[in-house]
Amino acid sequence: MSERVLVALSGGVDSAVAAALLVEQGHDVVGVHLRLADVPDARPGKGCCGLDDAQDARRSAQVLGIPFHVWDLREVFRREVQEPFAAAYAAGRTPNPCVTCNAAVKVGAVLRRATALGFDALATGHHARVEQRGGRWVLVRAADRAKDQSYVLHVHGPDELARLRTPVGWHAKDAVRALAADRGLRVAAKPDSYDVCFVPDGDTAGHLAGRLEPAPGEVVDLDGSVLGSHEGTWRYTVGQRRGLGLSHHQRRFVVDVDPAARRVVVGPRDALACRWLEVDAPIDQVGDLDGRKVLVQVRAHGRPVPGVVRRDAAGGWRTELEEPLHGVAVGQSAVLYDRDDDVVLAGGAITAAQRPLLPVAR
């Protein structure tokens, strides 16, 4: 059945091919580029908000012969993504802005506006599969596991998934590029975007330095001994190894960040081993998970590890891991997958995780 579909054209190859596939399937397709942040120095593969990206999106729409619009969502992006990003670091959490952006902006706000304008569905270039199984819409890993983006879409429940289309999720990345080349799309060889779009140089600490006040404190080892100093705990995240400025004879990693005490705790890699994590008020896609064996993933392209879910009285859950995860930070998203068929079962922000014995403040 033909649908009226709004396609979010980022300026990259995946969204362009998503639009092309929908046009060829006979749908009424309209392209829209989202202006989210002003990043004048963005380079190919470094974000998706530069002027070149908007121009590439427009050219792709022209090649496909579809209407094209630009929506200015900078204010909602600033309010819903950029400000919470800085606030999370200030509070000692490690946020995932891509998850937040999809929830509040790229899918959330855009889907609501598309529905109000009479569109049947929103399509994106995400490598993930939205399928209907047993009368219920579910999110499934992409055919190309190396490019899978189901992690950042876990925040969307069945009602939103019913109106979300992800055509490239059934294709390997090499095949997507070949499809683009065959259709004369100039973005066929354009590099993928990997960094946070509003921090295209990858320097999160530098980005935050212009938004958060310095708050000097101590860098301490697990035994409480002072190893150095810092200018703000927001410059650090659990699992970080580079940029610590320490001369310790052994490699040290950040194992805890305490903004209230202005303290950064470091230790050996073994101190990062986590055997359980908790999520408060998770987005549950399939109903009761208590006792279910799952795969747990805490980074967009992290290695999933097996675990068992235990529901708590407050409605959140603890996942007991069958093997340790390293570098688990409060604020990260934990996404649970079915062990057998790659379906997303639930997900949410981590509120607690196993920690080593931390030093007593002196």
Q: Could you list the active site residues?
A: 101, 197
Q: Which amino acid is at 209?
A: A
In 3D space, the residue among 198, 203, 202 whose CA is nearest the CA of residue 82 turns out to be: 198
Which structure tokens are listed for 282? 């998770």
Could you give the 3-state DSSP secondary structure of residue 282?
coil
Q: How far apart are the first and last CA of the chain?
A: 68
Beta strands 121-123 and 164-165 are parallel
Pairwise CA distance, residues 121 & 141, whole Å: 20
In 3D space, the residue among 8, 20, 6, 37 whose CA is nearest the CA of residue 186 turns out to be: 20
Pairwise CA distance, residues 89 & 204, whole Å: 10
Which structure tokens are listed for 242? 């580079």
Residue 8, C-beta contacts closer than 8 angstroms, at least 6 positions apart: 15, 32, 33, 34, 106, 110, 122, 123, 124, 125
Tell the residue number behind the tokens 């100039």, with chain if given: 186
Pairwise CA distance, residues 286 & 160, whole Å: 15
